[in-house]
Amino acid sequence: MFINKDVCIGDYSYVYENTLIESGNIGKFCSIASNVSIGPDNHPINLVSTHPFLYDKKWSRKINIDTINYEYKNDSPPIIGNDVWIGRNAIILRNVTIGDGAIIGAGAVVTKDVEAFSIVGGVPARHIKYRFPEEIREKLLQIKWWDWPEEKIRENIELFYNVEKFIKKFYHSGENEYV
């Protein structure tokens, strides 16, 4: 497993073996399976070669090139929301935002943004379905249970097993304050 020092991983998120996280911000309560790749570096495709000897001093020194006339900037790191499940062997590319509660299927290659509570899969990853109807998704996004203190989660754990009861207790339309 490799996690770059610049990567931020939220509370209670976990990462299984053989996963490579080169860049990104990962929310709370995320489940990341084994052999996942998140935010790998890209290579410029508009030069004669895609090899890093043209833009990376470490590589240019290996073949005795003193001057590099090209400044390559990698794309933005991926942003992974809270309570996201990423299946085994998935690849999450840069310039991607994955919404809260999303599920990334095993082996998927995510090249575009993924909506909250969306289930995606395939190469490239495509929307399969939503975990919940729109009304429930919107309410869960407003409740933001992943930001609750640990004690509040423990006290209400039974409600986590029933979405309707959970929303009935914690969603209050027009208010930003939750019981």
Q: How far apart are CA 51 and CA 116, in angstroms?
A: 36
Q: What strands lie across the sheet with 91-92, from one edge to the other?
A: 2-3, 20-21, 37-38, 91-92, 109-110
> What number of helices (H) and strands (E) belong to the chain?
4, 15
- The radius of gyration of the chain from alpha carbons, rounded to an integer in Å, stands at 20
List the Cα angle 7/11/12 in 5-degree steps: 115
43 is catalytic: yes
Say if CB 105 and CB 128 are below 8 A apart: yes
Q: How far apart are CA 115 and CA 150, in angstroms?
A: 26
Active-site annotation, residues = 43
